[in-house]
Amino acid sequence: MISLSKDICLKFKEARQAKGLNQSALAQQVGCKQSAISMFESGMVTKLSEETVRRIAEFLGVSLEEESKASSNAVSDIPFQVAVHGYCPNCECPSNIPYVVNGRLYYKADRKTASPAGGKRCTQCGEILETCCPSCGAPLNDGACCAACGNAYVTPVVPEGIDMETFARNRRIEIAQIRSF
Ligand SMILES: [Zn+2]
Ligand SMILES: [Zn+2]
């Protein structure tokens, strides 16, 4: 079954009027009833067979192909939405929990906090989220570093004038306070 929008049916009507034909004259030309043309022009396309519609289109010079292509494009233009829980690359964001391992500062990226429902931006600080490893493109894991390339997800800013362990501990307390509000 051919599917046509009301807009196209309207084009048929305009094309018919442009040719100076009334509905019965067109019906005679293409071999159908005037009432079928009338219904067709008002959007009830099921009243005519596909063959008749094509005959009318040809007779009036209305293109069906172009229109059906345009409508299928419109369908594929609808973005396919998947909830991706990205992580926030901002080391100062409360979604990233700092801790120290072997004298190095790491941030465990809490993706559920940064992106509870998926989306492009961090719900905590507004930063654009990363949805895969920025170094190698591997899928994210819940740790601080990429399992594929070993790079840290969040680049730490090492604090000056304060012991790293103390910094990480203080920051964790601060984050716990921010989050409990
Ligand atoms: Zn953030
Ligand atoms: Zn990686």
Tokens found for residue 66: 């172009």
Domains, the chain, in order of start with CATH, read: 6-76 (1.10.260.40), 96-180 (no CATH)
d(CA 20, CA 15): 9
Distances in Å between the alpha carbon of 63 and those of 17, 59, 60, 88? 16, 10, 9, 50
- Predicted confidence at residue 142, as pLDDT, reads 85
- Measured in Å, residue 174 CA sits from the centre of ligand 2 at 29
- 58-105: per-residue pLDDT in tens? 999 888 765 544 444 444 444 444 567 899 999 999 999 999 999 999
Surrounding residues of ion ligand 2, Cβ less than 5 A:
133, 135-136, 138, 146, 148-149
**CA nearest neighbour of 88 among 139, 124, 138:** 124
Ligand nearest to the Cα of 145, by number = 2
- Measured in Å, residue 87 CA sits from the centre of ligand 2 at 13
Q: Quick check: pTM over 0.85?
A: no
